[in-house]
Amino acid sequence: MILESLKPETALKVKKYGYFIYLLPLLLPVSAWYGGTHTQGLNTLFALLPMLVVFVIVPIVDLLLGKDPVNPDEDEVPEMSEHGFYRWLTLSCLPLYFLCIFSAGYFMLNWPGLSVLDQVLYTMSVGVVGGIIAINVGHELIHKNTKLEQISGGLLLSLVSYAGFKVEHVYGHHVHVSTPEDASSSRYNQSLYDFLPKAYYHNFKNAWKIQKQRMERKGQRFLGIKNELIWYYLHTVLVAGLMGVFFEVLGASFWIGVGFFFLQSFIAFTELEVINYIEHYGLHRRKMSTGKYERVTPEHSWNSNYFLTNMFLFQLQRHSDHHAFAARRYQVLRHHENSPQLPFGYATMFTLAWFPPLWKAVMNPRVKAYYRDEEGVLSSS
């Protein structure tokens, strides 16, 4: 494809500045409002604009551009890892997403002729942006060891009401990934509709359970000021209340503002859990004679290397490398050809996942082929 013809050093430079595409999702809510208010009778279409861009246009451009042609040279990794440019891109997402949700609320209330259904669709579109910016970037930041990044990651997650992910993902999912103990690892033949409610419930519950255990080991009170989950969930409540007041000042109901905040949150964290479903579907870690599971390797996550979606998601699709080396920064994540490969980028796979017969027709043969030398290892949920 187009990018595969580039020299490696040119491709790396294109990637460096290509990450600025993260601004596009943030601009989609205002673009939708502008388009809807300057056309006649197309409100529903423009309310859906962010979703159409993410789930229709991006997959098409992915196929046209092709796959990411380069891995970083390991000699350059230390310097790239410390480069402040990459760090500040992710840190900027916290104020930008805060501005995005409040401006989106303003646009919705100042969009003439927008029906209640269109308002719901527009709020869902904002939630899709939240999945890309708040959840995905929050995920990148909570894996880093600086206090600024850790707190920024937690605050981003709290803007979509999913602060527990900060604890459960790092100390739960990354420990138990691709085992029956992990609620975020989907089983072979498990449908998305079976997976989602379990993921919502167990991940919320596990976050508090893990946090309690962590605090007990430190000799700290669970219901004390050092419990970070309490602070992050209080931040969620505070922002929801601010949104309600904001809507009230603009002449709408306080509760419509609160509803707007929590609906965009629900869409954002649902987007996360669908991606979790995709990333580990049918994969497993083998149990050793000691009773413990084998070490996490690139074999335990589905990989996708389509260029455009990699830029959108700060290389989340190079998920195999992320799980094998969780502390690696997004700019130096590598593609592993020997890891299980998704046939398309995340946006396409996200759409497929909602149609279980189609999903299984595409993915089950790939899981079976990957474990072709291990008869009987696959089991349904």
For residue 360, what are its two tokens? 């299984």
For residue 352, what are its two tokens? 């497929």
Full-model pTM:
0.93
User: What is the pLDDT, as a whole number, of residue 289?
Assistant: 80
Element (H, E) at 169: none
For the chain, count helices (H), then strands (E): 20, 0
User: What is the pLDDT, as a whole number, of residue 376?
Assistant: 53
Cα 284 from Cα 286, distance rounded (Å):
6
Cα-based angle 279, 282, 284 (whole degrees, multiple of 5): 95
Distances (CA, A) of 248 to 48, 241, 254, 257: 25, 11, 5, 8
Q: What is the DSSP letter of 70?
A: -
DSSP 336-350: -TTS-B-SS-HHHHH
Closest alpha carbon to 23 in 144, 129, 177: 129
Amino acid identity of 226?
A: K
DSSP 200-261: HHHHHHHHHHHHHHHHHHTT--TTSTT-HHHHHHHHHHHHHHHHHHHHHHTTS-HHHHHHHH
Low-confidence ranges of the chain (pLDDT < 70): 1-9, 373-381
Cα 220 from Cα 213, distance rounded (Å):
10
For residue 284, what are its two tokens? 């497993």
At what angle are helices 84-91 and 93-109 packed, to 10 degrees?
30
> 189: left (phi > 0), else alpha (psi -120 to 50), else beta?
left
Measured distance between the N- and C-terminal CA atoms of the chain, rounded to whole angstroms: 38
Cα 230 from Cα 217, distance rounded (Å):
18
For residue 151, what are its two tokens? 């707190």
Within 8 A by CB and 6+ apart from 81, the residues are 328, 329, 331, 332
How many Cβ atoms sit within 10 Å of the Cβ of residue 112?
7
